[in-house]
Amino acid sequence: MPVDTAEKTRALSEQLAVNPLDPKELLQTFGLVGVWAILFAETGLLVGFFFPGDSLLFLAGVAASPVADAMLGEGTRLSLLGLVIGAPICAIAGAQLGHFLGARYGQRMFDRPDSRLFKREYVEKAEYYFEKFGPAKAVVLARFIPIVRTFLNPVAGVLGMPAKTFFLWNVVGAILWTDGIILGGYFLADSIYDAVGDHIDRYILPVVALIVLISVLPIIIEIIRDRRAKRRAAAAGQESTPSHAGRGRR
């Protein structure tokens, strides 16, 4: 009995010593349930913004592939069905909780210039984000932007986005984000293994960064267009000012 207790204590201490920023270590330690829990925390709890959601999803897809044990170690293979169903559900539930907390308690948090969890600038950025891209596009695209996907949900509640409307686009964004990256990892696993063997942790960040870049490309293009339009409008205004002044002198 003491031996069993010692082994359980050792196993628990090893789990508690896991690096929360290392997706491979998180996956090897907590498995499928860990993926679900981290997705819920990252999207629903403000303290979860530091979790490596994108890289964890991609690596989870690799872990569901036939080469999982060879790349990540024996016993690390995950259920693809459990991932593609469970991951979006947890991401949806987390985001919906974040929206509820924002709608229920958010206004109190923002009545003062700064709050413990948010700064007023987060609200101002979210307002611009919603006005620029519209609530639907904002909720969907925010899924692919680290940190933003954590804070946008409660801010949407603070800004009064209806829960039903939020839920609709929350579902769309969650499925595209989670299953898109998971399936990307799953289908690319063989090619990655042929290229890097079991050293995937060295290359996962560049791959995920590319995925995120492609995902937010529409936002970048829209921002560039907006800035160009403002510059053209400002230039046109400057050109028209002298002519008006000249007519006034006559």
Averaged pLDDT for residues 70-93: 91
Distance CA 244, CA 242 (A): 5
Task: Using DSSP, state whether 66 is helix, strand or coil.
Answer: coil
Q: Which residue reads 């829209």 in tokens? A: 222
pLDDT at 4 over 60: no
Q: Are 152 and 129 in contact (CB under 8 A)?
A: yes
pTM (2 d.p.):
0.74
CA distances from 205 to 54, 137, 201 (A): 9, 26, 8
Q: What burial class does residue 40 get, using C-beta atoms within 10 Å of its C-beta: 0-12 exposed, 13-18 middle, 19+ buried? A: buried
φ/ψ bin of 19: left (φ > 0), alpha (ψ from -120 to 50), beta (otherwise)? beta
Tell me how crowded residue 221 is: count the other CB atoms within 10 A of its CB: 10
Q: Which of 52, 10, 4, 25 is nearest to 150 (CA)?
A: 52
Q: Looking at 19-33, 76-90, 236-250, which range is the least confident one? A: 236-250
For 48, half-sphere exposure in the C-beta direction (CA atoms, 13 angstrom radius) is 20
Lowest pLDDT segment from 162-166, 178-182, 184-188, 218-222: 218-222
Percent of the chain with pLDDT over 70: 71
Q: What residue segments make up the domains of the chain, in order of their start?
A: 18-239
CB-CB contact of 157 with 100 (8 Å) = yes
User: What does the pLDDT average to over 85-111?
Assistant: 89
Residue 119: phi and psi, rounded to 5, are: -115, 155
Average pLDDT, the chain: 78
State which of 17-21, 64-68, 89-93, 146-150 shows the largest mean pLDDT.
89-93
What local confidence, expressed as pLDDT, does residue 114 receive?
67
Determine the pLDDT at residue 218: 66
Residue 198 pLDDT: 63
The burial class, CB within 10 Å (0-12 / 13-18 / 19+), for 25 is middle
More reliable by pLDDT, 131 or 152: 152
> Which distant-in-sequence residues (6+ apart) come within 8 Å of 109 by Cβ?
115, 116, 117, 118, 158
Q: What is residue 22's predicted lDDT score, i.e. its pLDDT?
A: 66
